[in-house]
Amino acid sequence: MPWVNVGKENSGEIQLYYEDHGSGKPVVLIHGWPLSGASWEKQTPALLNSGFRVITYDRRGFGNSDKPSLGYYYDTFADDLRKLVDKLNLRDFTLVGFSMGGGEVARYLGKYGTKHVNKAVFISAVPPFLLKTDDNPQGAAKEVFDGMKFAIAQDRPAFLSKFLSDFYNVDVLKGKSISDHAVQASWNVAIGASPRGTIDCVTAFGGTDFRKDLERIDIPTLVIHGTDDRIVPFEISGKRTAELVKGSRLLTIDGAPHGLIWTHSEQVNKELLDFLSPMKVEPATVTAK
């Protein structure tokens, strides 16, 4: 399996697992919390079949990557991504971030700029800033994230079960666009993650301010978000991200939950492939039924 070394903890190396398939223009897919690169199962074939090179990787602490006790904050995540980009010598590539992965896209572009990056995509993403503060009254109260961390520490398996039910809006979509088996598969991945990393990532995505990062983005950008997202509500995330990234294109998918890359994969894939095509995409706001 391919690995990239991103640092050390005491006597051990910290290695991230990645997959690199196909040819053509590279597309780097960055997964959400608490899953892994395998969550792009429905996007990877569509991209490969359309002639793109597809790169997925597992964030430190998740999937097949090493599980250190440190480094679970966005400056480090961006550095980890940069090490992968440098190892593969990527040029003219697209960054696609789902949920927590949207934070990596934002911080990478804010920290390293857009050199060699041709486009960016945010799907159900956590930017611009989820935490409620005096200058961010739209955010969620700190107690929300503290409650998540407490519940994870008390009974992580039970927390993940409830979380994934809301992740996919199982009460509404079960038997239509999500099955018990698909939810169980996500739980199986999530339970294999680092317990420490699972908690620390809540602090990261719940408390990191990406507003200045988004304002630096000067490449074509697509924002996709579901109107029924219970995890990262559209009004405090996707809507505001599109407003902060100049010239971005916003697509809302009516009735879609947080985990729309599975439940509404056909719509997501169509919009993603249209955006990645060589033709120029004009800024727009679109609602897909």
Whether residue 220 has pLDDT greater than 90: yes
Task: Name residue 238's amino acid.
Answer: G
Q: Are strands 53-57 and 12-21 parallel, antiparallel or unpaired?
A: antiparallel
Distance between CA atoms of residues 212 and 193, nearest Å: 30
Share of the chain above pLDDT 70, in %: 96
75: containing domain: 3-288
Whether residue 112 has pLDDT greater than 70: yes
Cα 153 to its chain centre, rounded Å, is 23
* pLDDT (tens digit per residue) in 133-169: 999 999 999 999 999 999 999 999 999 999 999 999 9
Sign of the C-alpha dihedral computed for residues 108, 93, 20 and 87 taken in this order:
negative
Distance between CA atoms of residues 130 and 136, nearest Å: 8
Please give the positions annotated as active site: 99, 229, 258
Whether residue 286 has pLDDT greater than 90: no
Whether residue 196 has pLDDT greater than 60: yes
Whether residue 280 has pLDDT greater than 70: no
Q: What is the mean pLDDT of residues 91-102?
A: 98
Distance between CA atoms of residues 65 and 30, nearest Å: 13
Q: Return the CATH number at 20.
A: 3.40.50.1820
Distance between CA atoms of residues 206 and 223, nearest Å: 19
Q: Which residues pair with 174 in a beta bridge?
A: 178
Q: Which of 80-84, 245-249, 277-281 is least confident?
A: 277-281
Mark 217-241 as b/e (b = at least 16 C-beta within 10 Å). bebbbbbbbbbbbebbbbebbbbbb
What is the pLDDT at residue 279?
52
Q: Do residues 97 and 121 touch, judged by C-beta distance below 8 A? A: yes
Mark out the alpha helices in the chain (DSSP H runs).
Answer: 44-49, 74-88, 101-112, 142-167, 170-173, 180-191, 195-207, 211-215, 238-244, 260-263, 265-276
Distance between CA atoms of residues 45 and 57, nearest Å: 16
Q: Do residues 72 and 206 touch, judged by C-beta distance below 8 A? A: no
What is the pLDDT at residue 144?
98
What is the pLDDT at residue 285?
63
Note if the bond before 128 is cis, omega within 30 degrees: yes
What is the pLDDT at residue 130?
98
Q: What is the tally of structural domains in the chain?
A: 1
What is the pLDDT at residue 18?
98
Distance between CA atoms of residues 289 and 277, nearest Å: 22
Distances (CA, A) of 175 to 38, 101, 168, 178, 227: 22, 28, 12, 6, 20
Whether residue 283 has pLDDT greater than 80: no
∠ Cα 282 48 104 (to 5°): 60
CB proximity list for 174: less than 8 A, separation 6 or greater: 180
Residue of 200, 191, 143, 122 whose CA lies nearest to 163 = 191
Phi and psi at 259, nearest 5°, equal: -80, 50
